[in-house]
Amino acid sequence: MARIVFDLDGTLIDSAPDICAIANGVLAPHGARITLAQTHAFIGHGVDTFVAQMRAATGLSGALHEEMVAAFKRGYLTSFTRTEIYDGVVPVLGALAQAGHRLGICTNKPLAPCHAVLDHLDLRRHFGQITGGDSLPVNKPDPAPLDATFAGLGDGARLYVGDSEVDAQTAQRAGVPFLLFTRGYRKKPIAQVPYDRSFDDFAMLPALVADLLGAR
């Protein structure tokens, strides 16, 4: 059986509305705000990069950076009421586990907010290993967090499921087959993102996993 690792934001959950609300809460004292579309564009590289991009978009000084990162992380711990699980995720996670696969998460979201949202949505129980953006000194697209997540799941074939260019690059660097969820926060056209299989409905995922494993 395989070890299957998932990205979180834009793959298992649609968290952009909450992330946008956190960002605008941080920006409000400075008379600035960003849109949901901008939020989608900034997600993927972790909090530090997100804050740098939202500062640049709103013309705010770099002197505010550390203060805004800290405020953003505080908001991350309790802001998940607008976040929704993508359709089909829960039954598919159950089906994959029942088939004997071991499941993990590798995300650039900091670990504490990751646990908080997973607990709120009752998803944490599905995963044997969770690696956050601050679990190691580096984050995706460096392959080290993904490699560490697989290592925590024991032995077996490796597959990575994500929604973005960052995830695709991480999989390439780790030498892992990549399944692209096409309804997430990808910035480029699908044709410009390297992947082994793609899907827009989680009901498709078990068959794609079986197909990839059969091709190995």
Active site residues: 7
Q: The tokens of 49 are what?
A: 């990069």
Half-sphere exposure of 84 (CA within 13 A, CB side): 6
Rounded distance between C-alpha atoms, residue 2 and residue 148, angstroms? 15
Enumerate the β-bridge partners of residue 104.
5, 129
Enter the tokens of residue 61.
């000084």
Tokens of 84: 């929704």
* DSSP code of residue 9: B
- Residue 96, both tokens: 């994959």
CA atoms of 123 and 53, how far apart (whole Å) = 30
The rounded distance, in Å, linking the Cα atoms of 147 and 139 is 11
Query: What does the alpha-carbon distance between residue 38 and residue 34 come to, in Å, rounded to a whole number?
Result: 6
- Decide the pairing of beta strands 129-131 and 102-106: parallel
Q: How many residues does the chain have?
A: 216
